[in-house]
């Protein structure tokens, strides 16, 4: 995708747009993060609040972002300026673009480390580690757990994997060789979906599906804390790739006549379905083996390998699975580095290659904080009250603060700054539906985000 300030090319079809946007949305957030934060926050009630956040707040914010991109037909900061002035308002609204650049940069610093874990797991699967570890049913969960602990406490291994990941992302961004990759992902995403379904069915047969289903869908609000509600809200933004200008960039290429409302719904539904299936694949194994739902970031890596270790051709299936996870993560990582790179090119006037290298180097340096956090280094145990180490701090700061803040600004901007006539024309809705959407953007999204947010930082205690 080019970053000229004014874009004139378009997606070849509605389908191409949906695939690309779903590709940006589906990533580690769905397969790695959603299952473990759901476990940490008690299951069903968390899922319920998460679904509300996706459809009442996430979808309207996504529609708003797409409209801004489409009207502005430009990179996020310029699009914001254009649309704000078009409606007679200040260009300071482009601050939304800056929040996105910062969030993308911080997110990538840990995203690349987790993508590195997935890459390492391709090799674990390929060298038969899963089936070896799972050979003795009495100790299999411990052996698979040890495989994970050995990896995350080995700083040299993590340095290699993370460095390779970031270098590959920088290469793709600077050379602009994304087309081939986008073709590959067009096939790999549906393949990942089918494989995930297959794994879910296998888990249902060998694992405790009933326990998993009850855990995920039995809504018991006594299990949910207000902090958990903020995590659900923040994750809705994270998983849909919102508040980072990415949907503005995609919207800028939207052909005429494509329904913003329908496509946004479809993207959100696809993203949610992948997350729920990932949960339904992981939790039957978790409960059957007596693992802890609250195991944290290692959950994916400590549960599914148990299934791979015991299934026919499991090592092969394990390789396939982690290769696809790496690809899903890699395309997200590219989109994440795109915003700081484009920012440097636009604002600091450096060449694209140089910008990608500078941004990549900065991400690499920051990624050391996450690597050492998992390795348990003493100096990472400072987190300014947000989590227990720097990794948890970065995760909290981005998902729970920066993205919701961006979400408030975008919904207020779309609901109050953009002229309603423009919005109505772009959404192409009947009066009643438009009134609903406008209410969501004007009141439900900003007030909802603010309430959850203020509650979580303890203002109403
Ligand atoms: N949605 C991605 C995931 O679930 C993560 C993400 C957040 C992202 N913001 C993004 C990816 C921006 C690409 C661009 O894994």
Residue 209 and residue 285: Cα distance in Å, rounded?
A: 8
At 293 the three-state DSSP class reads coil
Determine which residue's CA is closest to atom 6 belonging to ligand 1: 241
pLDDT-derived band at 304 (thresholds 50, 70, 90) equals very high
- Is pLDDT at 5 greater than 60 in this prediction? no
Q: Which atom of ligand 1 is nearest to the CA of 32?
A: 15
CA torsion angle for 278, 281, 286, 287 (degrees, to 10)? 120
| Ligand 1 pocket: which of 113, 114, 246 to mutate (most atoms within 8 A of CB) | 246
Which residues are CB-neighbours of 78 under 8 A, at least 6 positions away?
5, 72, 94, 346
In this prediction, residues 372-386 reach a mean pLDDT of: 86
Tokens of 96: 């939304």
- Tell me what pLDDT residue 24 has: 87
- Tell me what pLDDT residue 178 has: 65
Please indicate whether residue 430 or residue 19 has the higher confidence score (pLDDT).
430
Which residues are CB-neighbours of 180 under 8 A, at least 6 positions away?
none
- Is pLDDT at 64 greater than 50 in this prediction? yes
- Tell me what pLDDT residue 274 has: 96
Q: Which atom of ligand 1 is nearest to the CA of 103?
A: 9
**45 and 221 in contact (C-beta within 8 Å)?**
yes
Residue 175 and residue 179: Cα distance in Å, rounded?
A: 11
How far from 398 is each of 57, 187, 433, CA to CA, in Å? 17, 31, 32
Determine which residue's CA is closest to atom 10 belonging to ligand 1: 241
Q: Is the dihedral of CA 194, 176, 360, 108 positive or negative?
A: negative
Residue 356 and residue 360: Cα distance in Å, rounded?
A: 6
Which residues are CB-neighbours of 368 under 8 A, at least 6 positions away?
none
pLDDT-derived band at 3 (thresholds 50, 70, 90) equals very low
Please indicate whether residue 232 or residue 341 has the higher confidence score (pLDDT).
232
- Considering only CA atoms, give the Rg of the chain: 21
- Tell me what pLDDT residue 77 has: 74
pLDDT-derived band at 8 (thresholds 50, 70, 90) equals low
| Ligand 1 pocket: which of 69, 241, 340 to mutate (most atoms within 8 A of CB) | 241
Residue 211 and residue 402: Cα distance in Å, rounded?
A: 35
- Tell me what pLDDT residue 9 has: 67
Residue 59 and residue 29: Cα distance in Å, rounded?
A: 17
- Tell me what pLDDT residue 102 has: 93
Residue 27 Cα, ligand 1 centroid: separation in angstroms? 7
Identify the weakest region by mean pLDDT among 2-6, 212-216, 220-224, 272-276: 2-6
Residue 243 and residue 270: Cα distance in Å, rounded?
A: 19
pLDDT-derived band at 15 (thresholds 50, 70, 90) equals confident
**134 and 144 in contact (C-beta within 8 Å)?**
yes
* Mean of pLDDT over the chain: 91
Residue 339 and residue 241: Cα distance in Å, rounded?
A: 12
In this prediction, residues 284-305 reach a mean pLDDT of: 95
| Ligand 1 pocket: which of 20, 28, 29, 104 to mutate (most atoms within 8 A of CB) | 29
| Ligand 1 pocket: which of 1, 23, 26, 27 to mutate (most atoms within 8 A of CB) | 27
Residue 272 Cα, ligand 1 centroid: separation in angstroms? 13
CA torsion angle for 446, 449, 452, 454 (degrees, to 10)? -70
Q: What is the pTM of this model?
A: 0.94
pLDDT-above-90 percentage for the chain:
70
Tokens of 273: 């379905």
Q: Which atom of ligand 1 is nearest to the CA of 331?
A: 13
Residue 24 Cα, ligand 1 centroid: separation in angstroms? 6
Which ranges in 207-245 belong to alpha helices (H)? 209-217, 226-239
In this prediction, residues 402-415 reach a mean pLDDT of: 95
- Is pLDDT at 38 greater than 70 in this prediction? yes
| Ligand 1 pocket: which of 101, 336, 340 to mutate (most atoms within 8 A of CB) | 336
Interhelix angle 95-126/140-152, nearest 10 degrees: 130
**52 and 228 in contact (C-beta within 8 Å)?**
no
Q: Which atom of ligand 1 is nearest to the CA of 338?
A: 14
Largest CA distance in the chain: 69
pLDDT tens per residue, range 228-254? 999 999 999 999 999 998 898 888 888
Residue 451 and residue 219: Cα distance in Å, rounded?
A: 21
Residue 238 Cα, ligand 1 centroid: separation in angstroms? 6
Residue 262 Cα, ligand 1 centroid: separation in angstroms? 21
**384 and 393 in contact (C-beta within 8 Å)?**
yes
Residue 126 Cα, ligand 1 centroid: separation in angstroms? 28
pLDDT tens per residue, range 169-227? 999 888 876 676 677 777 888 889 999 999 999 999 999 999 999 999 999 999 999 99
Residue 448 and residue 233: Cα distance in Å, rounded?
A: 9
Residue 336 Cα, ligand 1 centroid: separation in angstroms? 7
Q: Which atom of ligand 1 is nearest to the CA of 28?
A: 15
Residue 128 Cα, ligand 1 centroid: separation in angstroms? 31
Which residues are CB-neighbours of 53 under 8 A, at least 6 positions away?
232, 233, 235, 236
**336 and 249 in contact (C-beta within 8 Å)?**
no
Residue 108 and residue 106: Cα distance in Å, rounded?
A: 5
Q: Which atom of ligand 1 is nearest to the CA of 271?
A: 4
Determine which residue's CA is closest to atom 12 belonging to ligand 1: 241
- Tell me what pLDDT residue 383 has: 67
In this prediction, residues 296-307 reach a mean pLDDT of: 96
- Tell me what pLDDT residue 384 has: 74
Residue 350 Cα, ligand 1 centroid: separation in angstroms? 26
**174 and 12 in contact (C-beta within 8 Å)?**
no
């Amino acid at each position: 995708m080019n970053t000229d300030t004014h874009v004139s090319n378009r997606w070849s079809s509605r389908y191409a747009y949906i695939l690309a946007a779903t590709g940006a949305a589906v990533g580690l957030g769905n397969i790695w993060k959603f299952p473990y934060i759901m476990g940490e926050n008690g299951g069903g009630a968390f899922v319920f609040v998460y679904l509300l956040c996706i459809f009442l707040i996430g979808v309207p914010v996504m529609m708003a972002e797409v409209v801004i991109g489409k009207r502005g037909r430009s990179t996020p900061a310029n699009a914001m300026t254009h649309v704000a002035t078009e409606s007679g308002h200040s260009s300071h609204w482009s601050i939304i673009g800056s929040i996105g650049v910062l969030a993308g940069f911080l997110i990538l610093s840990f995203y690349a480390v987790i993508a590195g874990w997935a890459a390492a797991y391709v090799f674990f699967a390929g060298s038969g580690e899963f089936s070896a570890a799972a050979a003795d049913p009495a100790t299999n969960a411990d052996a698979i757990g040890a495989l994970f602990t050995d990896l995350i406490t080995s700083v040299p291994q993590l340095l290699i994997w993370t460095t390779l990941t970031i270098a590959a992302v920088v290469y793709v961004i600077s050379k602009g060789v994304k087309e081939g990759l986008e073709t590959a992902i067009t096939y790999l995403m549906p393949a990942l979906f089918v494989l995930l379904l297959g794994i879910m069915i296998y888990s249902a047969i060998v694992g405790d599906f009933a326990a998993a289903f009850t855990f995920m869908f039995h809504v018991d609000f006594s299990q949910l804390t207000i902090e958990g509600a903020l995590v659900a809200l923040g994750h809705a933004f994270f998983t849909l790739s919102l508040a980072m200008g990415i949907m503005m960039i995609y919207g800028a290429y939207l052909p005429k006549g494509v329904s913003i409302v329908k496509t946004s719904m479809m993207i959100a539904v696809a993203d949610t379905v992948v997350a729920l299936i990932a949960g339904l694949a992981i939790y039957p194994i978790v409960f059957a083996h007596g693992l802890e739902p609250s195991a944290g970031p290692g959950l994916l890596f400590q549960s599914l390998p148990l299934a791979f270790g015991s299934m026919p051709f499991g090592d092969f299936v394990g390789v396939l699975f982690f290769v696809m996870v790496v690809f899903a993560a890699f395309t997200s990582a590219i989109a994440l580095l795109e915003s700081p790179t484009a920012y440097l090119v636009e604002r600091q006037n450096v060449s694209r290659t140089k910008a990608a290298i500078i941004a990549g180097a900065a991400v690499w340096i920051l990624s050391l904080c996450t690597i050492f956090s998992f390795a348990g280094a003493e100096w990472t145990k400072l987190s300014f009250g947000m989590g227990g180490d720097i990794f948890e701090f970065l995760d909290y700061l981005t998902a729970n603060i920066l993205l919701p803040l961006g979400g408030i600004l975008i919904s207020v901007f779309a609901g109050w700054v953009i002229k309603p006539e423009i919005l109505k024309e772009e959404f192409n809705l009947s009066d009643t539906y438009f009134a609903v959407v406008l209410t969501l953007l004007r009141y439900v999204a900003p007030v909802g985000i603010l309430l959850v947010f203020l509650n979580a930082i303890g203002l109403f205690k």
